[in-house]
Amino acid sequence: MTRTGKIARLPRKIRTELNERLDNGEEGDSILAWINDMPVVDDILREQFDGARITKQNLSEWRQGGFREWAFRRQFIEQGCETFDAAAEMEAAFDAPLLAGHLAMLVATRYAALLNHWDGHYSAEFEQEAKLLRALNRDIALLQRSLQDAERHRREHEQVVEQKKKDRLTAPIMAQMESDAYYAALGGGGERDRAMADFMAAVKYDQRPPQSVIALREKMERMKEGAKSARPPKEEKPSKADGPSAPVAPSPTKSNQSEGSTPIPSGQAEPEAGVNTEKD
């Protein structure tokens, strides 16, 4: 259930401290004075509730809602921890799977006592006691199977934990052996092959990045930096702001020659205006 009240909009840390104060039996007036005096609470109330302060009614509603949910979760966790501790103490005191066997032995003893005093005649009293013993026997059998399953799961868990410990101890050795095999398969061609082989072995055995991979990576980074520094700078093209460029002589084409004019040979000066160049 999503709550939308004033207290529900406060940060989790403040709500937790509020619940602890309520759980310790602190008075409502003291709680209201504490919570309304916090700057972060004042900011939230201004943004979302037009600055309306938290009242006794808000606190009472929270006590019946959010606080009860918090108290239930806390009680559930505490009971689980107590049950776990009690089970650990019982396991240290005696072998739990054998307990059901002892109980079954007691029921068998009561069966023997019932039959020992039975005169062979069927009666309501005999049927009632026999029915009770049959029910106890079924419950004990179910309990025995449950304890056996729990013991099996516990042993399997211990085996998994022990195997993980062994794997952590042998993983570096196995990784080195795998790396040598990979290196030979790659042809043993130098530091690149060694780094590749070490990396594949490290991934397989969940190891940290090997030193050969780190060294190769650093070397490649240095080579990149060296190549950048050795590269000649690009030539910059002159811009218009650098000044006017030298004029380019137009080529003698039909477009820039007038009709009827004679082309001027290369190297000959152009005649002055008004001078007759035709021969008599």
Query: What's the pLDDT score for residue 96?
Result: 67
Asked if pLDDT for residue 10 goes beyond 70, the answer is yes
| pLDDT tens per residue across span 62-89 | 999 899 999 998 888 888 788 777 767 7
| pLDDT tens per residue across span 210-228 | 888 888 888 888 888 877 7
- Range 230-250 average pLDDT: 58
Is 29 or 106 the better-scoring residue by pLDDT?
A: 29
Region of residue 269 (left: phi > 0; alpha: psi -120 to 50; beta: else):
beta
Percentage of the chain modeled with pLDDT above 90: 19
Query: What's the pLDDT score for residue 197?
Result: 85
| pLDDT tens per residue across span 151-169 | 788 888 888 888 888 888 8
Asked if pLDDT for residue 249 goes beyond 80, the answer is no
CB neighbour class for 13 (10 Å; exposed up to 12, middle 13-18, buried from 19): exposed
Confidence of residue 235 (pLDDT cuts 50, 70, 90): low
Confidence of residue 248 (pLDDT cuts 50, 70, 90): low
| pLDDT tens per residue across span 82-97 | 877 776 777 676 666 6
| pLDDT tens per residue across span 168-195 | 888 888 888 888 888 888 876 788 888 8
CB 184 within 8 A of CB 190: no
CB 17 within 8 A of CB 35: no
Tokens of 188: 């043993």
pLDDT, the chain, mean: 79
Torsion over CA: 134, 138, 140, 141 (sign): positive
Query: What's the pLDDT score for residue 67?
Result: 92
